[in-house]
């Protein structure tokens, strides 16, 4: 009776030894990566997002109100400003404002382009 039990135990021990040898030789990192990936995918598929309601943003977002249109400061006195512009004297750069007044004599324009006289080329030699 002892012999059949010992044969069964020897077979069981040899099977366990073969499995241990396989796991010892086989890379466990690849199996662990698969296990982690499978666990991650399982949790990802089981995830249910909570539905978003309109009332969720009530405390976090301010309500939008259209601002008032600004009043232009020029609109109140536009006609008088236009008249003042039309009555202004035209200023030209280089002219005196008093000389351009009506009834004043015309200003004498100076010749701003003055050419130097060329000396004869033979005089230096």
DSSP string, 9-37: HHHHHHHHHHHHHHHHHS-HHHHHHHHHH
Residue 83 scores a pLDDT above 80: yes
d(CA 72, CA 46): 61
pLDDT band at 2 (very low <50, low <70, confident <90, very high): low
pLDDT band at 118 (very low <50, low <70, confident <90, very high): confident
Q: What letter would DSSP give residue 57?
A: G
User: What number of CA atoms fall less than 13 Å from residue 65's CA on the CB side?
Assistant: 4
User: What number of CA atoms fall less than 13 Å from residue 107's CA on the CB side?
Assistant: 13
pLDDT band at 45 (very low <50, low <70, confident <90, very high): very high
User: What pTM was computed for the model?
Assistant: 0.23
């Amino acid at each position: 009776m002892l012999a059949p039990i010992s044969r069964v135990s020897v077979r069981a021990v040899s099977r366990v030894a073969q499995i241990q040898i396989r796991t010892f030789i086989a890379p466990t990192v690849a199996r662990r990566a698969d296990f982690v990936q499978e666990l991650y995918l399982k949790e990802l598929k089981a995830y249910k997002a909570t539905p978003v309601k309109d009332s969720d943003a009530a405390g976090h977002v301010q309500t939008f109100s259209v601002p008032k249109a600004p009043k232009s400061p020029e609109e109140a006195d536009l006609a008088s400003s236009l008249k003042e512009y039309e009555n202004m004297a035209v200023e030209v750069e280089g002219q005196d404002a008093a000389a351009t007044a009506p009834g004043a004599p015309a200003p004498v324009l100076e010749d701003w382009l003055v050419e130097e006289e060329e000396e004869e080329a033979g005089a230096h030699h």
